[in-house]
Amino acid sequence: MRLAILLAVMLAFSAHAQVERRDHAITASGLSVAFPGGYACEPISSPFASLTRYDNSVRRGDRNGGLHGGMDLSLEIGTPLLAIADSEVIALGEGGALEGIYIWLRSTPINSGSPFFVFSKCQHLSALPTLKVGDRVKAGKVVGLSGATGTVGKHYGPNGYAHLHLSTFYGPSDEYEIKGRYDSMVSGKDARLDDPLILYLDDLHDLPAIRSLPDERKTVHPAVAGNDGRIYPEGRKTVWPVSCKERTKR
Ligand SMILES: [Zn+2]
């Protein structure tokens, strides 16, 4: 009898844990971004955990409780997308609606300078990248070109919405499984979906603490690639995923 109760409790716990891993509640990080002076960068058109799309329309409630699972940058088709840190390509292909052509990268803590293994996904690419699974890319190098794949029809209309959707998962392990109908979902072991801006925080140690940072630490200052691909400031491990225009000569 006692064994039966113990088993029931264990089963209930593991079922709960699975639900949490698959679809934990996401919340806004409270972070915002400021770019280096002299650089004009595409602003975030829909931040992580936003209830609205780039056009201020309200998101569908059946995905992440209506909250945005990544950050969007509106981009012209064919804009180069850059590796956010030194990374390894772990998956790429064409997914379904609202996903399009995607590429997944994995960065180690040494790569990203954070305590986490970071699994990042760029969506809606215009074409399959020329990279292969297992290829390694340096921070700021081109991993694909932006597009509107997966967005044509329904809300976004016949031309779709050309943008980068970047999702980031943070976890303690390099292990992952590939899941989903299109093999398009990388599930990092115990990894959590959270704001891509977290990548650009200094001295990050745990995800919950981000929500209680003092206001003066809630603005992140990413390094950016300029017109010639040079990264400014130098020496950072993470880079903004799209290059910026230099307004003035330094
Ligand atoms: Zn998005």
Peptide bond into 233 cis (omega under 30): yes
CA 145 to ligand 1 centroid distance, Å: 16
CA 64 to ligand 1 centroid distance, Å: 12
Residues contacting 67, CB < 8 A, separation 6+: 26, 27, 49, 50, 51, 59
CA 48 to ligand 1 centroid distance, Å: 8
Contact 121, 107 (CB under 8 A): no
Q: Across the chain, what does the average pLDDT equal?
A: 90
What pLDDT score does 20 carry? 34
H or E, element range at 208:
helix 207-210
CA 153 to ligand 1 centroid distance, Å: 16
CA 135 to ligand 1 centroid distance, Å: 25
Q: Return the structure tokens found at 16.
A: 């709960």
Closest CA to 172 of 239, 120, 237, 114: 114
CA 73 to ligand 1 centroid distance, Å: 8
Contact 176, 158 (CB under 8 A): no
CA 166 to ligand 1 centroid distance, Å: 7
Residues contacting 5, CB < 8 A, separation 6+: none
Express each pLDDT in 116-166 by its tens digit. Answer: 999 999 999 999 999 999 999 999 999 999 999 999 998 899 999 999 999
What pLDDT score does 208 carry? 86
Residue type, 201: L
What pLDDT score does 13 carry? 45
Express each pLDDT in 166-204 by its tens digit. Answer: 999 999 999 999 999 999 999 999 999 999 999 999 877
CA 142 to ligand 1 centroid distance, Å: 20
Residue count (the chain)? 250
CA 17 to ligand 1 centroid distance, Å: 26
Closest CA to 151 of 51, 54, 80, 83: 54
CA 193 to ligand 1 centroid distance, Å: 13
CA 85 to ligand 1 centroid distance, Å: 20
CA 250 to ligand 1 centroid distance, Å: 34
CA 2 to ligand 1 centroid distance, Å: 48
Instruction: Please state the rounded mean pLDDT for residues 72-100.
Output: 96
Domains of the chain with bracketed CATH: 44-202 (2.70.70.10)
Contact 111, 103 (CB under 8 A): no
CA atoms within 13 A on the CB side of 120: 32
**How would you classify the pairing of strands 32-33 and 219-220?**
parallel
Q: What percent of the chain has pLDDT over 70?
A: 89
What pLDDT score does 240 carry? 98
3-state helix, strand, coil in the chain (%, to 5): 20, 30, 50
